[in-house]
Amino acid sequence: MSRPISPVAIGGFTVGALALLLAAVFIFGGGRFFRTDTVRFVIFFDSSLNGLEIGAPVKMQGVKIGEVKDIVLQFDPRITKIYKPVVIEIDRSNLTGPEGVAFPKARSSKERLASRDRLVAAGFRARLEMQSLLTGLLFIDLDVHRDKPPVFTGLEYQGLLEVPAIPTTADELRNAFTEVAQKFNELPLEDMIRDLSISLQEIKNFLTSQDARRSTAALAHTLEETEKAVKTLNGNLAPLLANMNRTVANANTLIGDVRPIVANADKALIAATAALDGARDSMAKLDGAIGSESALYETLDALKEAARSIRNLTDYLERHPEAVLTGKGH
């Protein structure tokens, strides 16, 4: 006959099992089982949730701040649309303000709404991202995307506040590719190909025509004549430059010779002017005897005027000796 099981042994086994269970919760769960400083939100995603599981991490800048708590499908038969609310739970202890100070906890629904609105205004958006290409598992990335306007569905789920979602990176690439493909399909490809074929045929006909051959020959002849003209110009340019250099040298020599002549002439004219002034004074003294209308008096005036003109000329030549070659400018 089997012995009856002692109630004390059963009780001890039960207590031990509970102790092991509590130890496992603290060790593997980090004590989260008893943590109550959390807040929940709901997110409505348009893209597929394949790879997103309950318990998937919610990350910000690569740091886990929460996890997915619930994934539901809602079907609206009126508009045949399926909504996919995803409930996330954020551990507030993982988020602190400056100097490690914890954010104040919202006590009322009004405060929770104001807190959510501040986060959305700061640019916080939710997006699905790939955890691993091998497993295909997804996580929710909660980060700042100020360039993405917030879009709310306006739906209610368990009274939770909604965090706006944005398309995944893959969805954005797919949408961009789809848009490019649509624009490409809208192009009149058949007309473009036909016009291109006609243009190529016309070019081919022109290149094989007699006009094209004559134009090519004329162009070659023109280039040949141009090359000959350039060679001739190069051959004649050197002697021309040499002659110009010799002419300039001769002009410089002539100008150098003219300078002392002009200086001597200037001195002679000064002496002649002085002599004429003396003669005029003498004539003034004899004015009563000879008369102001005497031919001698007129001759002296003419000589003085001529001397003045010659002196002006010599002064100009002294300042501009090149006038001997080029003439006096106007």
Alpha-carbon span 120 to 299, nearest angstrom: 115
pLDDT value, residue 139? 94
Last residue of a domain, which of 142, 166, 190? 166
Last residue of a domain, which of 166, 190, 209? 166
45 in a domain, yes or no?
A: yes
Last residue of a domain, which of 143, 166, 189? 166
**Are 263 and 162 contained in the same domain?**
no
Encoding tokens for residue 126?
Answer: 């939710």
pLDDT value, residue 41? 94
Q: What are the DSSP calls for 20-72, one per residue?
A: HHHHHHHHHHTTGGG---EEEEEEE-SS--TT--TT-EEEETTEEEEEEEEE-
**Are 61 and 145 contained in the same domain?**
yes
221 in a domain, yes or no?
A: no
Residue 132 confidence (pLDDT) above 70: yes
195 in a domain, yes or no?
A: no
**pTM score over 0.85:** no
Residue numbers of the domain that contains 250: 239-326
How many domains are there within the chain?
2
214 in a domain, yes or no?
A: no
What pLDDT band is residue 168 in, cutting at 50, 70 and 90? confident
Residue 31 confidence (pLDDT) above 60: no
137 in a domain, yes or no?
A: yes
Q: CA dihedral defined by 50, 154, 89, 170, rounded to 10 degrees?
A: 30
322 in a domain, yes or no?
A: yes
59 in a domain, yes or no?
A: yes
Alpha-carbon span 102 to 85, nearest angstrom: 29
**Are 264 and 145 contained in the same domain?**
no
Query: Which segment of 99-108, 227-236, 318-327 scores lowest on mean pLDDT?
Result: 318-327
**Are 130 and 253 contained in the same domain?**
no
What is the chain's length?
330
What digits encode the pLDDT tens for the residues 257-315?
666 766 666 676 677 677 667 666 665 665 554 555 556 667 767 777 777 777 777 77
Residue 42 confidence (pLDDT) above 80: yes
Q: What are the DSSP calls for 287-300, one per residue?
A: HHHH-TT-HHHHHH
Encoding tokens for residue 210?
Answer: 């007699």
Using an 8 Å Cβ cutoff, are 89 and 39 in contact? yes
Q: Helices H, strands E: what count in the chain?
A: 8, 9
Q: Looking at the DSSP assignment, which residues form a beta bridge with residue 193?
A: none
259 in a domain, yes or no?
A: yes
